[in-house]
């Protein structure tokens, strides 16, 4: 039960060009900014959008191939799709929503309902079997929608932002539940999300796309440590620069130099955490060997720390404590010195 796809979709002003392989039992997260082509990828795999060119095989069965003109419609692809806003049928009870796919497989009403009841029990909603979707909370509706997608035993499960419509508290609970259900699922799973945390917790492998193109693929750990685009770096909370290394010195594309702990030659990425940045009102003397005069561009409270956006020889995000903010008396426009120790940097080939 694996999925192999070569997707080319062309629309005015947008082109998707992505090769995708998902093993049985594997959860792959498709991560990317808005408009990157995540939902298009999902709908194309489901057969709700047509390929411009390419081929999709689910379980060695070719469901779409533009070179032969083969195109199996959505309802015969053996897929399950969990929509972002669930799309539970409003005129059917939770039980009948889950039974819908089983009925379409030709099972009798009684049989489908029995199986659907078992699914509702698995997602912990037996007591809501008779409820209409309008009477369910967001989290309950999500669980019914997941049961509905899984009940017909799809070979490929597609999840479109499955947690995006939930509030923060429910999200935590549902994410954990979803993780359990995905672990039990034997087919291939493709999860579309713009939330790196969802992706890292739920997926075995991440695929990051921007403007319809693959920009990075790997395990969550690899991607978090070594982001290759500014979008990913921002997602995982890193300052990321490109440059050319000569031993421990890197000349960044912005023109500034940075001293790194690793030694490299040629094109590299340099990354460091916002917490690794120290700010001073006057030019500091002493150990940190990377220091730049910068200007405060923005100040934003984030949980227990404060994110300072700095402009200057290179754009830097710095995280400091509220106490430090008060002590430094920072405001937009304030000129300060930013320093980063070489040991706080991470360098890897571009």
Partner 1 sequence: MPGRTPSLRPRTGRAEGPRRGPSPTATRRVPLALLLPALLGVVFLTLPLIGLLVRTPWSDLTAQLRGTQVLQALRLSLITASLATALSLVLGVPLAWLLARARFPGRRLLRALITVPLVLPPVVGGVALLLALGRRGILGQYLDSWFGITLPFTTAGVVLAEAFVAMPFLVLSVEGALRAADPRFEDAAATLGASGWTTFRRVTLPLIAPGVAAGAVLAWARALGEFGATITFAGNFPGTTQTMPLAVYLALQDDPQAAIVLSLILLAVSITVLAALRERWMTTA
Element housing 97 (H / E)? helix 94-104
152 binds partner 1 (CB under 8 A): yes
Near partner 1 by CB under 8 A: residue from 10, 11, 53, 89: 89
For partner 1, the closer of residues 61 and 104 by Cβ is 104
> In angstroms, what is the minimal distance from the CB of 236 to partner 1?
32
> In angstroms, what is the minimal distance from the CB of 89 to partner 1?
6
β-bridge partners, 192: 30, 160
298 binds partner 1 (CB under 8 A): no
Quick one: tokens of 207? 């695929």
Element housing 290 (H / E)? strand 290-302
Strand pairing class (205-210; 27-31): parallel
For partner 1, the closer of residues 97 and 260 by Cβ is 97
Element housing 216 (H / E)? strand 213-218
For partner 1, the closer of residues 53 and 105 by Cβ is 105
Residue 228, classed as helix, strand or coil, is: coil
> In angstroms, what is the minimal distance from the CB of 270 to partner 1?
44
Cβ neighbours for 268, distance < 8 A, ≥ 6 positions apart: 242, 243, 244, 245, 250, 347, 348, 349, 350
Near partner 1 by CB under 8 A: residue from 38, 113, 148, 171: 148
d(CA 98, CA 116): 5
108 binds partner 1 (CB under 8 A): no
d(CA 172, CA 184): 19
Binding mask 41-80 for partner 1 (x = CB under 8 A): -----xxx------------------------xxxx--xx
For partner 1, the closer of residues 160 and 319 by Cβ is 160
> In angstroms, what is the minimal distance from the CB of 88 to partner 1?
8
CA-nearest of 299, 298, 301, 278 to 289 is 278
100 binds partner 1 (CB under 8 A): yes
> In angstroms, what is the minimal distance from the CB of 154 to partner 1?
8
Contact criterion met (CB below 8 Å) for 306 and 319: yes
Quick one: tokens of 6? 């070569």
Near partner 1 by CB under 8 A: residue from 12, 13, 69, 90: 90
The tokens 């099972």 sit on which residue?
107
> In angstroms, what is the minimal distance from the CB of 83 to partner 1?
6
> In angstroms, what is the minimal distance from the CB of 81 to partner 1?
4
Strand pairing class (205-210; 188-193): unpaired
Q: Restricting to residues 163-202, name those near partner 1 by CB under 8 A.
A: none
> In angstroms, what is the minimal distance from the CB of 315 to partner 1?
40
For partner 1, the closer of residues 135 and 183 by Cβ is 135
d(CA 342, CA 262): 9
Indicate if the alpha-carbon torsion angle 32, 34, 36, 40 is positive or negative.
positive
Quick one: tokens of 314? 């290179």
Q: Restricting to residues 125-144, name those near partner 1 by CB under 8 A.
A: 134
Q: What is the dihedral of CA 216, 219, 222, 224, to 10 degrees?
A: 80
Q: How many amino acids of this chain bind partner 1 (CB under 8 A)?
A: 24
Near partner 1 by CB under 8 A: residue from 83, 280, 337, 348: 83
322 binds partner 1 (CB under 8 A): no
Question: Candidates 146-154, 201-209, 260-268, 311-319 — which segment interacts with partner 1 by CB under 8 A?
Answer: 146-154
Cα–chain center distance at 116: 30
> In angstroms, what is the minimal distance from the CB of 100 to partner 1?
5
Q: Which residues bind partner 1 (CB under 8 A)?
A: 46-48, 73-76, 79-81, 83, 87, 89-91, 100-101, 104-105, 134, 148-149, 152, 158
């Amino acid at each position: 039960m694996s999925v192999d796809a070569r997707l080319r979709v062309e629309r005015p002003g947008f082109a998707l060009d992505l090769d995708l392989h998902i093993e049985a039992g594997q959860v792959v997260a498709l991560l990317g900014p808005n408009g990157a082509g995540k939902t298009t990828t999902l709908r194309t795999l489901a057969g709700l959008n047509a390929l411009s060119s390419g081929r999709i095989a689910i379980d060695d069965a070719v469901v779409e191939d533009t070179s032969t003109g083969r195109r199996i419609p959505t309802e015969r692809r053996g897929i399950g799709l969990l929509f972002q806003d669930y799309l539970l049928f409003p005129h059917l009870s939770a039980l009948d929503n889950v039974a819908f796919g089983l009925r379409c497989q030709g099972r009798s009403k009684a049989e489908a309902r029995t199986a659907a009841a078992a699914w509702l029990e698995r997602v912990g909603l037996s007591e809501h079997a008779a409820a209409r979707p309008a009477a369910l909370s967001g989290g309950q509706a999500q669980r019914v929608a997941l049961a509905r997608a899984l009940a017909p035993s799809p070979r490929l499960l597609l999840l479109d932002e499955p947690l995006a419509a939930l509030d923060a508290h429910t999200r935590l609970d549902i994410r954990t539940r979803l993780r359990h259900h995905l672990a039990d699922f034997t087919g291939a799973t493709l999860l579309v999300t713009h939330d790196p945390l969802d992706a890292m917790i739920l997926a075995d492998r991440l695929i990051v796309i921007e403007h319809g193109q693959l920009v990075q693929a790997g395990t969550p750990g690899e991607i978090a440590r070594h982001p290759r685009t500014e979008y990913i770096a921002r997602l995982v909370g890193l300052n990321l620069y490109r440059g050319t290394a000569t031993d421990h010195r890197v000349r960044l594309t912005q023109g500034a130099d940075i001293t790194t702990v690793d030694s490299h030659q040629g094109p590299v990425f340099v990354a460091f955490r916002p917490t690794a940045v120290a700010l001073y009102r006057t030019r500091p003397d002493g150990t940190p060997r990377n220091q730049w005069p910068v200007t405060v561009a923005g100040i934003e409270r984030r949980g227990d720390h404060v994110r300072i956006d700095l402009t200057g020889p290179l754009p830097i995000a710095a995280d400091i404590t509220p106490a430090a903010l008060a002590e430094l008396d920072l405001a937009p426009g304030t000129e300060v010195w930013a320093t980063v120790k070489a040991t706080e940097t991470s360098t890897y080939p571009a």
